[in-house]
Structure 1
Amino acid sequence: MKVRKFAAIDIGSNAIRLLVNNVIEEKGKKTVFTKSELVRVPVRLGEDSFTVGEISEDNEERIIKSMKAFRLLMDVNRVEKYMACATSAMREANNGMEIIEKVQREAGIKIDLIDGKREAEIIASTDLKQLIQKDQAYLYIDVGGGSTEFTLFNEGVIKVSKSFKLGTVRLLNNMVGDATWKKLEDWIKQHTADLERISIIGSGGNINKLHKMSGRKEGQHLSYVWLNAQYNFLNSLTYEDRISELGLNTDRADVIIPATRIFLMATKWSGAKKIFVPKIGLSDGIIKSLYFSAS
């Protein structure tokens, strides 16, 4: 038996994450991927990038310190290979490239700037295909702080995908107009109109948290009715109540509401009855991509 270690760094608009995975190889058996370590740092880059166009000195310092810590954690875990990806907040910041170069100099970590299409491709390399049945259609939705990726699967393959600047941090800062919502509605209805059976596959920390709050077991789906009721319930509480009564993290207690709204609207416009939450995302896709490219 051989145990290899790979790491993924996801620099998002709401948080920065390090995932370290054990990859267990044993002759005659299927390769097993297990989580070894997950660190999440609530650096909300989107509030800088989307509102003032650049990342503040304070958040720049927090990014560099986080990356130095991640570098040490990868070293002590003896990580064989890593990949660090930054999405919309870093892409749209005027000083994004400057910070990326500084991180490489000071922390020794190379960061790749990826767009929505590349992000969808990486996520598609996860165990997503094991969930997808060929006789059904699925709308995969990955909600982020700056953007949301939509990918339509039909007959087991990707038919179309699109990224919309419709993220939780943008919504919190009132930076999404009616025109963006209308474009999303038109896109979903256009591509799902002829599909009789369609389900949602949800990705991201917010839908994972919602699934956990529902009390459903792993593999059990959420319904539109439950999600709508939960949306109304969350909206009835103050930000402070969501933290004290529901135990939500300070950087989750606000973004969970706009995230729920995105899933609700997409479910309504697509006519989907079920929302599956496999708890996979960009970091999991990075690990799989690294492993298969290194094998």
Structure 2
Amino acid sequence: MTKQKAVIDIGTNTFHLLIANVDEQQNIDIIHKNTIAVKLGEGGVNKGHIADAAYKRGIDALVLFRKELSKHNIKEVKATATAAVRDASNGKEFIAEALEKAQIQITIIDGLKEAEYIYNGAKGAGVLNDKTSLIMDIGGGSVEFIICNQNQIFWKQSYQLGAARLLADYYQHENAIEKSTLENIHQHFSNTLINLFEAVKTQHPKKLIGTAGSFDSFATIIALKQQVLFNPETMKSFELNYPEIMNLLDEIIESTHQQRLAMQGLIPLRTDMILMAAILTQFIIKRTHIEEVITCTYSLKEGLILSDH
């Protein structure tokens, strides 16, 4: 039996609406989707507060989503909020206003629940098998790591290392990032991710699966350079050749803001976010010695739609 479901993923950078039919084999047939670059964390992600302009953009996006849901005669929607709302002093106020103005009831989920939904998404995309994999989902406010195979999660954790958060802390100019700043970021990663690397030593993941927007961008840029097809709307995954992804990460890390603006396949929202995502991705690949890297286009919202909530 096919079920129609609707979910909203309220992220630090983007809000996603997904309406789909889900069959008994957990296949997703998308009826309607919309992604809005709300930038809810802009101006406040490291201050524990949703800034006024970002707050308004967030409520406006949810009002628009309600109109789209109404067009499809959908009343019930599962809406979850992650780091930007979770960590904000005015997060409860935002949730109350979303209910009042958009008739959308938001549930705040913690990082571990977020990791579970991301795992469900990757599993639904068919990118997992019997081999142990490391999933990495780089959001704006947080990053989730999941060590798993198709049958189970062995270890999961969420860290406050999102691209918007790192950007606010470490990069406020348009030049290429300084070597000393890069060293400070690496030190921050080393101090923060101790238990991740302990888990990697124990579980020995053989494949890195990148979910969420930054990895879609990596795949899009590489596909354009190689003149091969990558369409995140229709493809569930894309293999990233190891030398190509490492070269691209170097190129992004060494680039200026203007050079990133000119990069084919990079959307304006990610012009600077991609810098922090590249620094983190390169750090993880080098520290884990994983050489098989793939992009998975399913992440939290698909995991949400495949779950029983």
Offset at 1:48? 3.1
- The equivalent residue for 2:287 is 269
Q: Secondary structure at the match of 1:173?
A: helix
Does 1:209 pair with 2:217? yes
- The equivalent residue for 1:75 is 70
Contact 1:188 1:270 in 2 (8 A): no
Q: Secondary structure at the match of 1:211?
A: helix
C-alpha distance in structure 1 between counterparts of 2:254 and 2:281, whole Å: 18
Contact 2:42 2:54 in 1 (8 A): no
- The equivalent residue for 1:64 is 59
Offset at 1:285? 0.8
- The equivalent residue for 1:191 is 199
- The equivalent residue for 1:95 is 90
- The equivalent residue for 2:178 is none
- The equivalent residue for 1:13 is 12
TM value normalised by structure 1:
0.87
Give structure 2 stretches of 5+ with no counterpart: 171-183
Q: 2:127 aligns with which of 131, 141, 151?
A: 131
Offset at 1:189? 2.7
Does 1:22 pair with 2:21? yes
C-alpha distance in structure 2 between counterparts of 1:46 and 1:77, whole Å: 30
Alignment of 1:114-193 (within 5 A): 114-128=109-123, 130-134=126-130, 136-153=131-148, 156-174=151-169, 180-193=188-201
C-alpha distance in structure 1 between counterparts of 2:246 and 2:156, whole Å: 25
C-alpha distance in structure 2 between counterparts of 1:197 and 1:15, whole Å: 29
Offset at 1:167? 0.8
Give structure 1 stretches of 5+ with no counterpart: none
Offset at 1:236? 4.4
Q: 1:44 aligns with which of 15, 39, 48?
A: 39
C-alpha distance in structure 2 between counterparts of 1:160 and 1:39, whole Å: 32
**Aligned-residue CA RMSD in angstroms?**
2.5
Q: 1:5 to 1:239 in 2, by over 3 A?
A: farther
- The equivalent residue for 2:256 is 238
C-alpha distance in structure 1 between counterparts of 2:111 and 2:285, whole Å: 21
Offset at 1:70? 0.2
- The equivalent residue for 2:179 is none
Q: 1:275 to 1:53 in 2, by over 3 A?
A: same
> Structure 1 vs Structure 2: percent identity of aligned residues?
26
Map Cα deviations across residues 164-192 of structure 1 (whole Å, 9 max, x no partner): 11110011112686654113443233122
Q: 1:232 to 1:148 in 2, by over 3 A?
A: same
Q: 1:153 to 1:197 in 2, by over 3 A?
A: closer
C-alpha distance in structure 1 between counterparts of 2:196 and 2:304, whole Å: 27
Contact 2:12 2:84 in 1 (8 A): yes
Q: 1:157 to 1:183 in 2, by over 3 A?
A: farther
Q: 1:220 to 1:15 in 2, by over 3 A?
A: closer
Q: Secondary structure at the match of 2:270?
A: coil
- Aligned-partner residue type, residue 298 of structure 2: I
C-alpha distance in structure 2 between counterparts of 1:31 and 1:172, whole Å: 37
Offset at 1:198? 1.2
